[in-house]
Amino acid sequence: MNIKKILPQLLTLLVVILIFGFFSYNAQVNMENRGITFGYGFLSQESSFDVQFSLIEYDGSHSYFRAYLVGLLNTILVSVIGIIFATIIGVVVGIARLSNNYLIERTAAVYVEFFRNIPLLLQIFFWYFAALRALPLPQDTEPMFGVFFLTIKGFFVPAFVWNNLDIFIYSIIAAIISIIFIRIYARKKQENEGIQTPVLSISIGLLIILPLLSFLFGGVDASVEVPVIKQLSQSGFTYEGGIKLPPELISLALALSLYTATFIAECVRAGVQGVSKGQKEAAASIGLTPNQVLKLVVMPQALRIIIPPTTNQYLNLTKNSSLAAAIAYPDLVLVFAGTALMQTGRAIEIVSITMLTYLSLSISISIFMNWYNKKIAIKEK
Amino acid sequence: MNKLNFLQPDKNNLNTYLYTGTILVALSIFIVFINSFFKKDLISFLPGSISFFLPLILGFIGLHLIRIDYSGLKFLDSINKNINTNNFNAFLSLLIVFVVIKSLPPLLSWFIIDANIAGDSKDVCTGSGACWTYIKIWFNRFMYGMYPNAEQWRINLSFIALAFLGTIGFFATEKFKKYLTLYYVVVYPIIAFFFIFFFISGGPIFFDFSYGIIAAVISIIIGFLIPSKFKMYYFIIVPITLYILLKYVFFYEELIELGKLEALEWVETGAWGGLSLTFIVSFFCLIFCFPIGLFLSLGRRSDFPIIKYFSIGMIEFWRGVPLITVLFMSSVMFPMFLPEDMFIDKLVRVIIAISLFEAAYVAEVIRGGLQALPRGQYDAAKSLGMGYWKMHILVILPQALKLVIPGIANTFLALVKDTPLIFVVGLLEIVGMLNLAKTNPEWLGFAMEGYVFASVLFFIICYAMSKYSYNLEQKYKTER
C-alpha cells in the first residue's frame, strides 16, 4: 500500500468525522440547554391539532404517528392523481409533437415551452389564488351534467355507496391475474408456433365481464350519492353527501400534472424518435401490417427509451408535491414538518423522519429502475 | 368536362373543387370570426346545436374538397401537406384555428383593450380587464423587495457592472483567451462576491464566509508557485490553515472594518427581495454547485473506496429528498447543529443548501458525460504519462463537459425555477413579494395580474437560457 492511496482517503474520513462530531456535539449542548431529550417517543403522544383533509379517520385525540400517516396518505393521493393525469397529457402532447400536422405540432410545442419554463410554485399559486378564486359560490353554481358541482369551496362529485365491495375488488384482481396468465400463454404460443393471440380484446373483455358477473351473482350493489346543497347560515352554503375535493388538492394536482406532462411529453417524443427508420422499414418489408409494426417493433423499442426517464419524472412529481405546504394542502411536509414540528419543537427527529420517508421512496424506486433497466437492456451477442 | 365526384376530389376539376372548398372554408372562418370579435351570430336563424356545429361542418367539407394531391399549385400543396393530410388532421386543424379565433378577443380585451395602466391608485381599475396600475405601483417592490428606495442604485450598479464583467469573454483578444476559464471560475465569482458583500449589503453579513474566500484567494495565488506533485495536499491543507489563522490570529475583524465603505448604509438580508434576490441566489448557487458537482462526480468514479462511497452517499441523499425539506432543514434543524454564539445569515444558509442540492444533480449529469467517453481516451492519456489531475483537466473533462452541456443547462434552469422556494425561510423573492402584495388591504383582488406578470418574466428568463444552451450545444458539437 502506498501513501498516495491512503492519505486522501484518510483526510476525507477525518474531515467528515470532524464535521459530524462538531455538529452532534453542538446539537447535544443545544438540546440540553433547551431541556429536550432526543428520542422518538413523542410519536405516540396525543397530537391535539386538526387536519383539514384526511383520508383516514383523524382528529386531535390521535397520536403524532397517526398525523404522520395522514400526511403521507395525502402526499400519496396527490402524487397518484398527478401521475395519472401527467401521463395522459404527456403521452397525448408527446405524440402531437410528432404529428405531421403543422398546427398540432406547434400547439403542442407552445404548450411544452410555456409550462416548463414557469416555476412550478408560481403555477400552483396561479391556480390556487387566481384561477380557482374566480369560481362561483356554492349557491350560484350551475351543476355539470346535473351531478358535479365546481365551486370556490371545492369540487363536489357524487360518491358510490357499495354493498359487498370486497367481492367486486376480488373480481377485478381475478381478472388481472387471468390476464397475466393469458399474456404468458400468448407469448409462448407466439414463440413456439408463431401464431398471434388477440390479447388486448380478451383482456378488455375479461376486465368487463368478471366485475359484471360479480354484480349479477356476487350480490355486489352500487348506488350513487349525489351532493345536495345545504344552508349553513344566512349566506353560507355548502354541499352535503358525495365526495368533496378541496381546492388545494385540485390546484396542486392540476399544476403538478400540467408541469410534469411537459417533461413526459419530451420523453415520449425522444423515445419514438429514437427508434430508427430502418426498423420500421424492415418490419414493413417482412409483411407486417402498420398496426403490427407499431405493436411489435416500434413500441417495445420506444418504451425501452421512454420508461426510465419517465419514472424519474414520476419521482420528481412526488417530491414536488411537497410544495403543497405553500398553499396549505395537508401533505407530509405541512402536517408533519410544519404543524407537528411547531408543536413539539423536535426539529431533528421530525425533519429526519420526513427526509427518510422521501429518501426511502426514491431509493426503492431507483433500485427497481436499475433492476428493470438491466432486464430490458438489449442483450448483444 | 369530367364528371364531378364530390367524395373524391381529383385534379381534373381542380378549379371547381378549389373555388367551392375555399369559399366553404373562408365562410366557416368568417362566421366564427364575426361571432367572436363582433358578438354577432350570423346563423342564429338555425336551431341551436346546428348553428353551433355549422362552421365546423362547413370547414370540414371545404377542406375535404381542396385535398387534391399534386395539384401543381404550390400554396395548395403545402397546405395539404402540412395541415390537411386526412380527415382527422383537417378536423383538428379546424378546431385549433377556431379555438384561437374564439379565445383572442377575451385575451386581448383582458390584456390590452379593457386594461388600465394610468393613475396611481386602485380606483382607476374599474374595467373588466387587467389592472396594470397595480404592477406599476408595486414594480419597485417586485424588483428590489424591501430594499430602501434611496439605496436601490447600488443593486442596479452592481448588476450592470457584473453583467458587463460577465460579457468580457466575448471581447477578449486571442492573447487572453486562454485565461478566460480561470477568469470565469475564480476571478469573476470573487469580484461578484465583493460587489454583493461590500456594495449591496454594505455591512457585516457574510463574515465567516469572507474569511474563507480570502483564504481561498491567497492559497490559489500561492498555489501557482507550488510544484504540481504536492498540489493536491496543498489545496487541502493550506486554505484551512489560512482560514484558522485569519480568524483567530490576525484580528481579521479589524481588516473588515478597514475595507468597509463608511458612506454606505448597511442593509440586512431580510430586506433584500424581489427579482434581484432571485438573481443573486441563482447566481451564487450556480457558481458553487458546478465545482461541487464536478468533484462529486469524479469522486463517484474514484478508485478510493472511502471517497467513492462518500460521494455516492452525498449524491443519493440530496437527490432523494425534496428541496423544500432541505430548506426546512437549513432553517429549523441547522441552527441546532451550531454553537450557541455562532450565527450564519439566512441567505447564506439558503445558498449553501440549494448549492449542495443542485450539485448532486450536476454530479449525475457530469457522470453521464464521463461514462460516455471511450476507455481509449483514459488509456491514451495515461500512456502519455499524465497523472490523475492532468489527465482529467486536459483530456477527459473538456470532452465530457462538452457532451453534457444540455444536461447542465437543464439543471441550471431547474435551479432558477427552484429559487421561489426560499419563501420557506422567509426570504421573499419575486413570487414571495407577489403573495405579500396580494394580501395588502389596499390592493386586494389583483392576484391574477401579479402571477401573469411574474410568469412572463420567468418565461423570458428561462426560455432565453434554454435557447442559449441550445446555441452552445451546436457550437461545441464535435464529430466523434
Going by C-beta distance under 8 Å and a sequence separation of 6 or more, which residues neighbour residue B13? B1, B2, B4
Q: What CATH number corresponds to the domain at position B309?
A: 1.10.3720.10
**Is pLDDT above 70 for A195?**
yes
Who among B97, B316, B463 is closest to A113 (CB)? B463
Residue B206 is predicted with a pLDDT of 46
Total count of domains within chain A: 2
- Any domain includes B440: yes
Residue to mutate among B321, B334, B342, B431, with most A CBs inside 10 A, is B321
What DSSP state is assigned to residue B139? H
Inter-chain CB proximity A103 and B316 less than 8 Å: no
Q: Do B448 and A322 touch (CB under 8 A)?
A: no
Q: Which residue of A has its CA nearest to B97?
A: A103
Are B85 and B128 members of one domain?
no
Do B277 and B351 belong together in one domain?
A: yes
Shortest alpha-carbon distance between residue A293 and chain B (Å): 21
B73 domain residue, yes or no: yes
Whether residues B356 and B443 fall in one domain: yes
Q: In which region does residue B116 sit, left (phi positive, over 0), alpha (psi from -120 to 50) or beta (all else)?
A: beta
The answer to whether residue A175 sits within a structural domain is no
Clarify whether residues B141 and B48 are in a common domain.
Answer: no
Q: State the best of A19, A78, A100, A121 to mutate against chain B, taking most chain B CBs within 10 Å.
A: A121
Assess whether B33 and B125 both reside in one domain. Answer: no
Cα angle value B417/B420/B426 (rounded, 5°): 160
Same domain, A25 and A110: no
Q: CB-based contacts of A374: which residues, under 8 Å, 6+ apart?
A: none
Angle at B437 between CA B431 and CA B438, to 5 degrees: 90
- Domain assignment present for residue B180? The answer is no
pLDDT tens digit string along A236-253?
777 777 778 888 999 999
Point out the residue among B236, B431, B466 whose CB comes nearest to the CB of A125: B431
Is B245 a domain residue? Answer: no
Please check the confidence at residue A281 and state whether its pLDDT lies above 60: yes
CB contact under 8 A, B417 and A337: no
Q: Could you tell me the pTM of the whole model?
A: 0.86
Residue A259: the pLDDT is 95
Report yes or no on A321 lying in a domain.
yes
Across chain A, mean pLDDT equals 85
| Distance in angstroms (rounded) separating the CA atoms of residues B34 and B44 | 12
**The pLDDT value given to residue A190:** 82
Interchain proximity A333–B454, CB inside 8 Å: no
Determine, for residues B455 and A122 on separate chains, whether the beta-carbon distance falls below 8 Å. Answer: yes
A337 in the same domain as A250: yes
Q: What percent of chain A has pLDDT over 90?
A: 25
On whether both A148 and A230 belong to a single domain, the answer is yes
pLDDT computed for residue A230 by the predictor: 74
pLDDT in tens, B211-232: 666 677 777 777 666 666 666 6
The yes-or-no verdict on residue A17 having pLDDT over 50 is yes
Q: Are residues A146 and A252 in the same domain?
A: yes
Per-residue cell: B124: 382607476
**Does residue A94 sit within a domain?**
yes
Half-sphere exposure of B312 (CA within 13 A, CB side): 11
B206-B211-B213 Cα angle (round to 5)? 85
Give me the residues of chain B with pLDDT under 50, please.
Answer: 205-206
**Touching B: A residues 60-79, CB under 8 Å:** none
User: Which residues of chain A from 114 to 133 reach within 8 Å of chain B, CB to CB?
Assistant: 114, 117-123, 125-126, 129-131, 133
Query: By residue range, what is the domain housing residue A256?
Result: 64-158+226-376
In this predicted complex, what is the ipTM? 0.84
Question: Considering only CA atoms, which of B148, B116, B141 is closest in space to residue B440?
Answer: B141
| Same domain flag for B447 and B357 | yes
Contact A118 B417 (CB under 8 A): yes
For A70-118, what is each residue's pLDDT tens digit?
999 999 999 999 999 999 999 999 989 988 888 999 999 999 999 999 9
Q: Do A260 and A358 sit in the same domain of this protein?
A: yes
What local confidence, expressed as pLDDT, does residue B205 receive?
45
Domain match, A12 and A86 both:
no
pLDDT at A282 over 60: yes
CA dist list (Å): A124 to A118, A203, A249, A250, B62: 10, 38, 10, 10, 42
Is residue A22 domain-shared with residue A75, that is, in the same domain? Answer: no
Let me know whether B302 and B355 are in one domain. Answer: yes
Interface check B381 vs A, CB under 8 A: no
- CA distances to A303, B93, B170, B289, B469 from B165, rounded to whole Å, are 47, 49, 10, 21, 20
- The C-alpha of A237 sits at a distance from chain B's nearest C-alpha, in angstroms, of 22
Whether A358 sits inside 8 A of B424 (CB atoms) is no
Q: Are residues A241 and A343 in the same domain?
A: yes
- Give the CATH number for residue A289: 1.10.3720.10
Number of domains in chain B: 2
A283 and A368 fall within a common domain? yes
According to the model, what pLDDT value does residue A361 have?
Answer: 87
Q: State which residues form the domain around B346.
A: 118-147+267-480
Judgement on whether residues B350 and B409 belong to the same structural domain of the protein? yes
Shared domain check, A347 and A244: yes
B304 with A103: Cβ contact below 8 A: no
A352 shares its domain with A305: yes
User: Looking at residue A1, what is its pLDDT?
Assistant: 57
- The counts of H helices and E strands in chain A are 13, 7
Contact map slice: B 419-438 vs A, CB within 8 A: 419-421, 423-424, 431, 434-435, 438
Residue A240 lies in a domain: yes
Are residues B315 and B405 located together in one domain of the fold? yes
Question: Would you say residue A12 has pLDDT above 60?
Answer: yes
Q: Given CB atoms, is A357 within the 8 Å cutoff of chain B?
A: no
- Rounded to an integer, the average pLDDT of A274-290 is 89
| pLDDT value of residue B406 | 86
